Structure 1
Amino acid sequence: MQIAYYDEPIKAFLKVSEDAIFGELAKRHVFALEYQQRDAWLGQIRLLKSVLSSFKLGHIFFEFAIPRMGKRADIVLLVGDVVFVLEFKVGAGSFDRSAIEQVHDYALDLKNFHKASHDLPIVPVLLATEAEGTRQLDVTFAPDRVAKPILARIEQLPDLIAHCVSLTGSPEIDIKSWKEAGYQPTPTIVEAAQALFQNHAVEEIARSDASALNLSQTTDRISQIIDHSKAQKRKSICFVTGVPGAGKTLAGLNIATKRAQEHSEEHAVFLSGNGPLVTVLREALARDEVARNGTTKSTALRKVSSFIQNIHHFRDEALRNRAVPDEKVAVFDEAQRAWTRDQAARFMQAKRGHEGFDMSEPEFLVHVMDRHVDWCVVVCLIGGGQEINTGEAGLGAWFSALKHHFPNWDVYISDRLKDGDYVSDEASTQLLAEMPVHPYRELHLSVSMRSFRAETLSSFIGHVVDNRPEAAREMYHHIHDRYPIWLTRDLDRARHWLRSKARGSERYGLVASSGARRLRAEGLHIKAKVDAASWFLNDRRDVRSSFYLEEVGTEFDVQGLELDWVGVCWDADLRQKSGKWGYYNFRGTVWQRLQQKERQLYLKNAYRVILTRARQGMILFVPKGHEADHTRPPCFYDETYDFLKSCGLKDLDVA
């Protein structure tokens, strides 16, 4: 992705003709040039030549790339040591909220992900060329030196630039170094899916610094395996591992889109049993397709649905139609969560009427792909500590199916697959040891990208849920400056904090475990299921959106997705008691202790999931309880609150 369609010193820009500048923009524009875009560029060029005529220093960029969002800012100006992000609304007489959020997002993106802009003041400016009246230009900087968006008329721009530059008095930006600085975007999975669907390369939208294994390396290794399998007519399966938030789903979407675009005859498909994830991705891509291409919503959804499918629908169709599937490449997200033989048989017999069904879900899925007579490839994306539901098979069912039913398949694994985070039980370990495998380091993603401010967040959360407060405190010492985590006993205070932290279109919301039944006393009804697409995608005006802080997402709603700021609501289902975690389920009118190790693990993982959803920071709400309510006395919550404080967290109420 080119950094900009046009960039020159302001002095040179003023000397060049409007037609020459327009020609440079048109030459680099890869899409059909519509008259609205042509008129917008010509208007911007004419206006900027007029208002910047007194500036002899500085640099101007037209159509500056914002890789994480797959978009371009109209103008970026570097004057003195200040970065100005300008968004034009040519012909507009007012400043709409979405445009204000957009220019703010561009500025925040530069601050967070463009290395040379980390320490510079950044001023987002929205210019409505037909706005009436004189506007007061108050420049207010946040602590990270990103200004609150300024709404201005074009003729006010020179005074605004001069005023902002006078506030700093620092040396001018080194233009060459600024242009060459690394850009390390970390998109949300929705942003990434939209960019990949628009044919952006993963290198353009994902970080690739030395501390993280480049996602493109993972894609390249899988592509090599696919090409080898095709050439040698082999059937292969790959197991890709990664820490929470490392980009496993992004890697899966990347390989599916890349193969679909470059090898359409393979009919590559991305499959997930995570219903909310599939719903949100499909809806986001369909909305984006409608906005960009003007197609109908139903047409857009059909197009998207052939590429992203619910794994259970894929399974049911394969049962109904015994023909060879169209898909030669199938990517299974969260493959360790596929169903066991008992769970799959029970469901298929009771709910689908398949009396003779007697396979685990992994065995059946490989069986379906094995219908191909020549070659095929299955890619399994594996997360550690993500099992949150009864009947999830883990990796043992995959290994058992391959060893006993498909021994001729080639098995490629991450060199970290044998770690305890992924294969922990003795039976699975033994099965893996008995199979011929090809290990590759590129099939492991080791660094979290979700929490771009704190790559060690997953380790901190691991110490918390594993009851290691001293290790958690030590880890939090390394992240608290960049990734705030606060405690509160006041839900309204938590809501206020979330609203105060979000800027631009940054998203916030409340989450809790699905077992947090007594949060109902706080006005949070866990059993009222959220509409995932509305909760994750709709704007602040929609009461169904996460922004309203009324509906609560559970681990089942949010796994695989993320928000910028999160309020984690902690109930008595997981509580500290005498220095250990106690595991409980609320039945009827009482809490019952969970005795089964498996169910304890699911509950612990539920908290692991909700505690790793925030990209930028979170606040943990621990209720005070009530002496008059036997289902939530203060003692059910106070020890948990004290434990979290011992992990290094501070109470917002007393800060």
Structure 2
Amino acid sequence: MKRAYYSNTIQNFLFDDSSKILGELSLYHTFALEELQRNAWISQIEVLKDQLKRFQEGQIYFEFAIPRMGKRVDVIVIIKHVIFIIEFKVGDGSYGNHAIEQVIDYTLDLKNFHEGSHHIKLIPVIVSTNAEIINNDQSDIDSYFTAAKTNGENLGEYLEKVVDNSEGNKINVVDWETSIYKPTPTIVEAAQALYKGHNVQEISRSDAGAINLSKTAGCLNEIIDHSKTHKRKSICFITGVPGAGKTLAGLNIAVERMKSDKDEHAVFLSGNGPLVEVLREALVRDEVLTTKEKGDYITKKQAAIKANAFIQNIHHFRDDNLISEKAPVEKVVVFDEAQRAWTNEKATAFMKVKKGIADFNMSEPEFLIDVMNRHEDWCTIICLIGGGQEINTGEAGLEAWIEAIKDHYGDWDVHYSNLVIENNNYITNESFKTWLKKSGISEQDLHLGVSIRSFRSEQLSNFIHELLEININSAKSLFNIIKDDFPIVLTRDLEIAKNWLRGISKGTERTGIVGSSGARRLRTFGIDVKNEISASNWFLDGKEDVRSSYFLEVVATEFDIQGLEIDWTCLAWGADFYYDNEKWNYQKFKGTKWQRVNQDIIKQYLKNAYRVLLTRARQGLVIFIPEGSEMDHTRPNEFYDGTFNYLKELGIKVLTKDNYTPVFLKKINKPIQRVKPPLNPIAEKQVNLKFEEPEPKVSEISSVNYNDVVSLNSIVKISYLSKIKIVKFQIVEDHTFSSKNESGIQCIKITSILAKALLGKKVGDIIQLNLHNPDTKISILRIIKGNEQKKIFKKTRTSEPNNERIGKLVKRELMDLINKNLLPDNEIINLQRADYSRQHLHIQYPLLKKALNSDPNNIPRYWAGKIKIMGSEYFICSEWYEQPTNNDRPYFIRWLSKMKHR
């Protein structure tokens, strides 16, 4: 496959006629060439011919392929020791977040998966041709996590600055071009790539020590072809460690057989509802998008018909074949997570109660084999088995499949790997092992022994195994091996865990919170494992969607995420499975208290649930273990401290407020001293609430001299500045906080409506704060209506100070504006809606003067939570779009209890 549509030295590119370059690009472009794409290429060529004149050497590539993502980079330029990944947005007047994330994704993909790019300086660049010129900081040169921005006019100047201000060995272009690309796609990316026609070699790694997935595919193809030629019925068991690529192998063989011989009607079946939902939706979205790029049109409904035939729910397949006794049309079926098929007891009970079939007396594996056995000539069943991954009652495991074959279908050919016999995670019944050795066929390539979920460390699954088996010394040794490549950290502060995820993830790398379905008391911390998620929304939707994993609000349990993965996870560890007295303890929450789990099988399910949760991350993991509370009999310290200390003993780093600073705060050069701003005594008297919080201890500060400070009409995350005489603040249109050096501008990014409502200012306004005393150690900026001068700092906490969140400032000022009738109801609601991420303003429950029958913006909402302030009655505007349950009440209460500090 040609890696780029056009490649040449920079000098030859400058010499080549533009029409010749355009012709080459058009030649390899597989879609219908639209005028928009043609014009974009012409603009790119013109800009680059003008801007690259100053370079005497280097290489340029147009439309460079990124196989894992199924995309192509607009332009790659290599100059000396630096590679520039350039994404053009011709005609754009701004540097959009989507474009920035896109070019960072391309850069990360090369850094992680292209062997020749591992140790080379990679610089992502976004070129928006109609945007304003931006002078990029030196920090942009030092990090491929931040995209440089240019409108093209200063592109050459920027490239030259990067090359001149960095060091490295000159890149051998030929070696770089021919470097091996070893991608590790997510299962969603893999399904999309295979569905499009890519083969497994293009999207799988080829590291030494890993069994190549193509070998597994070759082995399976030989078995299927043999069965077909010799009229045999066969069953294959693919086994592997968590993340080894079992699902990928199954999808690959289903696609290969579907494309090579449609009469076989190969199908991928799974009882994992979330996996089916996510894969189907991903294939549908991708086909609609790809078809659109080709200049054609297909509806989601049309695309879904094809995707739904290829990936099916195993229970629907089962039910269809209950109705008919004919052989199914499918000759090759792949059963994903076959260990989760039901036992005889569960299947029989389900059929009797749910289907009204009183005489059903088979396990699910036996019934599914029986269905395929209806074929008179040949068929092949491929079972994907995860060892030690049974997580629910009634899951039969591999032994039920062996038992069915042994007792009822002895004429079938059985193919398995030796690991099935050697590892008790798969089979414990010795008689089954003996029968397999005698009657089965051992196939080495049917076991995938190396995890490819985490491309960073192949020892991750081994470490998790030793951790759960309490093999402390072995776990310590393995952790020392993986810790540099696969970051694992520990914290008792959920906000720190979330900030760690936000800070370490780049581009569109997906983050999310996972937790055990039995960890019911995590609800105290806003983590409700009983709330059902929409799997397709959680796994596929973008950062702007509140239902997506990015929002770090909705938690996925082991049932939601088994068989799937994301880049970075936070595992919220509950009290259902905790370490104490050198052993694991198992509990189930029932009613209002915990009950001990005594059944070995239920204990194993619990341990397996945490095995699944601990192995869902591809790149890194933060483990949140909350503090206990002796005031809550359901959360005593012993349920949490033992687990925390055990993981800490293994060498996992602990993050606290003292040793961890969120990434966005690290950009401030000066040390940050955290203090809590003063309480507002007037507001305290105004608010009379039923729910109380303990008063923070405060003490007078007399050692710091304060000169007159101008009270700013601005909204900031409290900044503690040292030895700065003048600080400028500018309101810009966004939702995040950023800063520059002493004499630069501190950017307070908010919405226009918030600027108008709270500040009386408009976007673009610059406000200055003069700190007359250069030795001033601390200053606090607050929002105060009006421009009067006054000393604003009176008290602070003397130990373990904390920043006040922006949200608390906003809520305090909202109260004043509401009391003075300065903010109408619809503007309050718009403020909440504008803060779509709720990561900065946290306006979760704005107050209204009256309960409204409907939203002023014509969106149905739920109004509740009546309180009185200064004798006036107010209502809380809930964030939910449906009736809240009793589970939501603690959140209302917690918010109300903080109103006393306004």
TM-score interval, smaller chain:
over 0.9
Q: Which residue of 2 aligns with 1:230?
A: 228
**Distance of aligned partners of 1:432 and 1:509 in 2 relative to their CA distance in 1, 3 Å threshold:** farther
**Distance of aligned partners of 1:219 and 1:456 in 2 relative to their CA distance in 1, 3 Å threshold:** same
Deviates more, 1:352-361 or 1:607-616: 352-361
Q: Is 2:140–2:148's contact at 8 Å kept on the other side of the alignment?
A: no
The partner residue of 1:410 within 396, 409, 413 is 413
Structure 1 distance, partners of 2:168, 2:633, is 62
Sequence identity of aligned pairs in percent? Answer: 52
Structure 2 distance, partners of 1:582, 1:177, is 55
Q: Which has the larger radius of gyration?
A: 2
Q: Which residue of 2 aligns with 1:273?
A: 271
Q: Is 1:486 the equivalent of 2:497?
A: no
**Distance of aligned partners of 1:632 and 1:107 in 2 relative to their CA distance in 1, 3 Å threshold:** same
Deviation, structure 1 residue 45? 2.1
Q: Secondary structure at the match of 2:422?
A: coil
The partner residue of 1:152 within 127, 150, 153 is 150
The partner residue of 1:472 within 472, 475, 491 is 475
**Distance of aligned partners of 1:615 and 1:364 in 2 relative to their CA distance in 1, 3 Å threshold:** same
Deviation, structure 1 residue 25? 2.3
Deviation, structure 1 residue 200? 1.3
Q: Is 2:403–2:432's contact at 8 Å kept on the other side of the alignment?
A: no
Instruction: Output the amino acid matched with 1:134.
Output: I
Q: Which residue of 2 aligns with 1:220?
A: 218
Residue correspondence of structure 1 range 489-568 to structure 2 within 5 A? 489-568=492-571
Structure 2 distance, partners of 1:577, 1:633, is 12
Q: Which residue of 1 aligns with 2:668?
A: none
Residue correspondence of structure 1 range 106-255 to structure 2 within 5 A? 106-131=106-131, 133-140=132-139, 145-255=143-253
Structure 2 distance, partners of 1:147, 1:618, is 19
Instruction: Output the amino acid matched with 1:495.
Output: K
Deviation, structure 1 residue 171? 2.6
The partner residue of 1:263 within 261, 285, 288 is 261
Q: When the two structures are aligned, how many residues end up with a matched partner?
A: 653
Higher helix share: 1
Q: Secondary structure at the match of 2:154?
A: helix
Q: Is 1:96 the equivalent of 2:128?
A: no
| Partner deviation per Cα, 1:588-627 (whole Å, 9 max, x = no partner) | 1221111111000000000000000111111111111111
Q: Secondary structure at the match of 2:330?
A: coil
CA RMSD of aligned residues (A): 1.5
Q: Which residue of 2 aligns with 1:78?
A: 78
Extract unaligned runs of 5+ from structure 2: 292-296, 660-902
Structure 1 distance, partners of 2:69, 2:542, is 17
**Distance of aligned partners of 1:139 and 1:615 in 2 relative to their CA distance in 1, 3 Å threshold:** farther
Structure 1 distance, partners of 2:27, 2:214, is 28
Q: Is 1:632 the equivalent of 2:646?
A: no
Q: Provide TM-score, normalisation by structure 1.
A: 0.97
Deviation, structure 1 residue 434? 6.1
Q: Is 1:330–1:379's contact at 8 Å kept on the other side of the alignment?
A: yes
| Partner deviation per Cα, 1:140-195 (whole Å, 9 max, x = no partner) | 3598x424012211122101110111122323111111112111110111111111
Deviation, structure 1 residue 431? 5.9
Structure 2 distance, partners of 1:22, 1:158, is 22
**Distance of aligned partners of 1:177 and 1:434 in 2 relative to their CA distance in 1, 3 Å threshold:** closer
Deviation, structure 1 residue 72? 1.1
Instruction: Output the amino acid matched with 1:168.
Output: S
Structure 2 distance, partners of 1:104, 1:259, is 36
Structure 1 distance, partners of 2:239, 2:69, is 26
**Distance of aligned partners of 1:300 and 1:139 in 2 relative to their CA distance in 1, 3 Å threshold:** farther
Deviation, structure 1 residue 76? 0.9
Q: Which residue of 2 aligns with 1:575?
A: 578
Deviation, structure 1 residue 297? 1.3
Deviation, structure 1 residue 42? 2.8
| Partner deviation per Cα, 1:303-337 (whole Å, 9 max, x = no partner) | 11000001011101111232221111100111111
Q: Which residue of 2 aligns with 1:385?
A: 388
Q: Which residue of 2 aligns with 1:424?
A: 427
Deviation, structure 1 residue 359? 0.9
Deviation, structure 1 residue 209? 2.2
**Distance of aligned partners of 1:303 and 1:228 in 2 relative to their CA distance in 1, 3 Å threshold:** same
Deviates more, 1:410-419 or 1:60-69: 410-419
Q: Highest relative contact order (Cα 8 Å, sep 6+), 1 or 2?
A: 1
Structure 2 distance, partners of 1:447, 1:346, is 38
Q: Which residue of 1 aligns with 2:14?
A: 14
**Distance of aligned partners of 1:134 and 1:34 in 2 relative to their CA distance in 1, 3 Å threshold:** closer
Q: Is 1:309 the equivalent of 2:301?
A: no
Q: Which residue of 1 aligns with 2:289?
A: 291
Q: Is 1:45 the equivalent of 2:45?
A: yes
Q: Which residue of 1 aligns with 2:864?
A: none
Q: Secondary structure at the match of 2:626?
A: coil
Q: Which residue of 1 aligns with 2:364?
A: 361
**Distance of aligned partners of 1:314 and 1:139 in 2 relative to their CA distance in 1, 3 Å threshold:** farther
Q: Secondary structure at the match of 1:140?
A: helix
| Partner deviation per Cα, 1:440-490 (whole Å, 9 max, x = no partner) | 111111111111111101011111111122211111000111111111111
Q: Which residue of 2 aligns with 1:608?
A: 611
Structure 1 distance, partners of 2:440, 2:42, is 60
Structure 2 distance, partners of 1:530, 1:421, is 34
Deviation, structure 1 residue 632? 0.5
Deviates more, 1:155-164 or 1:38-47: 38-47
Q: Which residue of 2 aligns with 1:3?
A: 3
Deviation, structure 1 residue 428? 6.1
Q: Is 1:139–1:147's contact at 8 Å kept on the other side of the alignment?
A: no
Deviation, structure 1 residue 36? 3.0
Instruction: Output the amino acid matched with 2:135.
Output: Q
Q: Is 2:427–2:433's contact at 8 Å kept on the other side of the alignment?
A: no
**Distance of aligned partners of 1:26 and 1:528 in 2 relative to their CA distance in 1, 3 Å threshold:** same
Deviation, structure 1 residue 35? 3.4
Structure 2 distance, partners of 1:335, 1:557, is 17
Instruction: Output the amino acid matched with 1:79.
Output: I
Structure 2 distance, partners of 1:139, 1:443, is 51
**Distance of aligned partners of 1:618 and 1:428 in 2 relative to their CA distance in 1, 3 Å threshold:** farther
Q: Is 1:403–1:431's contact at 8 Å kept on the other side of the alignment?
A: no
Deviation, structure 1 residue 435? 4.8
Structure 1 distance, partners of 2:304, 2:415, is 34
Q: Secondary structure at the match of 1:306?
A: helix
Q: Secondary structure at the match of 2:560?
A: helix
Instruction: Output the amino acid matched with 1:164.
Output: V
Instruction: Output the amino acid matched with 1:140.
Output: S
Deviation, structure 1 residue 406? 1.3
Q: Which residue of 1 aligns with 2:857?
A: none
Extract unaligned runs of 5+ from structure 1: none
Q: Is 1:121–1:147's contact at 8 Å kept on the other side of the alignment?
A: no
Structure 2 distance, partners of 1:37, 1:50, is 20
Q: Is 1:344–1:360's contact at 8 Å kept on the other side of the alignment?
A: yes
Q: Secondary structure at the match of 1:356?
A: coil
